[in-house]
Amino acid sequence: MTRPELILASPYVAPVLSTENGRQPATITSLRLGLHTSTSKSFEDSALLAHAAGGNTFQIFSASPRQWRAGVPDPAAVKRLQTARDRLDLTPLVIHTNYLVNLATLDPEIREKSVKSFRGELDRAALLGAEYLVLHPGNFKGQTLEEGLAAFVLGLAEAASGFSAPHLTVLLENTVGSGNQIGRRFEELRFIRDLAARETDLPIGYCLDTCHLLASGYDVATEAGLSKTIAAAEQTLGLELVKVIHANDSKGALDSHLDRHANIGAGHIGEEGFRRILTHPAFREKPFILETPDDDGAGARDVETLERLSA
């Protein structure tokens, strides 16, 4: 396996991305709005819950998000999930990776478990027919940021060795940048994707979380700040590679580095902030998936709120 210091030895040159202005949005046929649902009963039930809440897309965990061990999905359960998705027009299916996975660590035990666990995530996502697998870039404690970025890429490549699922794309999610978190800035996510292209053929895109954006310093709550954020995302990431938006209001203020999700309109982004996000031409064809508190049916109310604000 390539050592982190060797992968960093090659100079990084950011390729030039198109930043053409004035593009016309494509015709909108059906805005994709949904939420994270539970698989505690079954994979099929997670799809039914999404539909019952008014969603036409959804996100799940493929196994317990706080345990290393995970089983293989039963083929009959997978079939029932796919039948429900086809019948209810639920697409895309997004799977969120286990919270324990940290591919950036150099701790031998945690790294070994993380690589094995993420390979399991890839295999289960492929079996379940998911379109996207969302992954946090990890924590670089005890290293420089550059070393952590390289360690993450090498862990990603090791986990993906021999894996192939053309329909599945791994999405790097931005973070609030608390402590030693990787992924606060767009440049870090772009750096990972470019390095990963040298080490693996795994398709990689991005997932942007609105709460994480605000808390990390991207002012998506104001009109000027949203325009600046979208321009930065286009220039650094390429908006065509931003495949999913996690729609979460933020309990933390701008640049607070507080990862606390709030229901839509109950945080520092607010309803008007989400109205601008939902109706911006750059995002009109992106699926929006809620990860907000779901007490007493709040998730369904948030789906309804997103639909109202998107009109």
CB-facing half-sphere around the CA of 205: CA atoms within 13 A? 20
Predicted pLDDT at 89:
97
Say which CATH number the domain at 280 has: 3.20.20.150
Q: Is residue 248 part of a domain?
A: yes
Q: Is residue 190 part of a domain?
A: yes
Alpha carbons 302 and 291: distance in angstroms, whole number: 10
CB 85 within 8 A of CB 47: yes
**All residues at 6 or more sequence positions from 206 whose CB lies less than 8 Å from its CB, including other chains:** 171, 172, 173, 174, 189, 193, 237, 241, 242, 243
Q: What angle do CA 3, 16, 10 make, to 5 degrees?
A: 20
Domain, as residue range, for 88:
44-310
Q: What is the pLDDT of residue 77?
A: 98
Nearest to 48 by CA among 214, 56, 269, 104: 56
The number of CA neighbours under 13 Å toward the Cβ of 147 is 10
In a domain, 201, yes or no: yes
DSSP, res 182: S
Instruction: Please state the domain count of the chain.
Output: 1
Residue 15 lies in a domain: no
Note if the bond before 92 is cis, omega within 30 degrees. Answer: yes
Whole-number Å distance between alpha carbons of 125 and 146: 29
Cα–Cα dist 307/12, whole Å = 42
Domain membership of residue 5 (yes or no) is no
- In 10 A of CB 235, how many CB atoms? 16
Residues for the chain: how many in total?
A: 311
For 255-277, b/e burial (b = at least 16 CB within 10 A) is ebbbbebbbbbbbbbbeebbbbb
CA distances from 140 to 19, 102, 150 (A): 32, 9, 10
Chain CA centroid to CA 283, Å: 15
Per-residue pLDDT of the chain (311 residues; tens, 9 = 90+): 444 444 444 333 333 333 333 333 333 347 999 999 999 999 999 999 999 999 999 999 999 999 999 999 999 999 999 999 999 999 999 999 999 999 999 999 999 999 999 999 999 999 999 999 999 999 999 999 999 999 999 999 999 999 999 999 999 999 999 999 999 999 999 999 999 999 999 999 999 999 999 999 999 999 999 999 999 999 999 999 999 999 999 999 999 999 999 999 999 999 999 999 999 999 999 999 999 999 889 999 999 999 999 99
Structural domain includes residue 39: no
CA torsion sign, 239 to 105 to 134 to 268?
negative
- pLDDT in the model for residue 295: 86
pLDDT of residue 19: 35
| Long-range residue pairs from 145-148, CB within 8 A, at least 24 positions apart, any chain | 145/182, 145/188, 146/8, 147/4, 147/5, 147/8, 147/106, 148/104, 148/180, 148/182
pLDDT value of position 37: 98
User: For 259, left (φ over 0), alpha (ψ -120 to 50), or beta?
Assistant: beta
Q: What is the pTM of this model?
A: 0.91
For residues 15 and 219, give the distance between their C-alpha atoms in angstroms, rounded to a whole number. 26
Q: What are the two backbone dihedrals, phi and then psi, of residue 175, each rounded to the nearest 5 degrees?
A: -125, 175
What whole-number distance in Å separates Cα of residue 220 and Cα of residue 218?
A: 6
Q: How far apart are CA 149 and CA 125, in angstroms?
A: 24
Residue 92 lies in a domain: yes
Is 19 among the domain residues?
A: no
Answer for the pair 115, 154: CB distance below 8 angstroms, yes or no.
Answer: no
DSSP codes of every residue in 246-290: EE-EESS-TT-----EE-TTSSSSHHHHHHHHHHSTTTTTS-EEE
Instruction: Give residue 14's pLDDT.
Output: 36
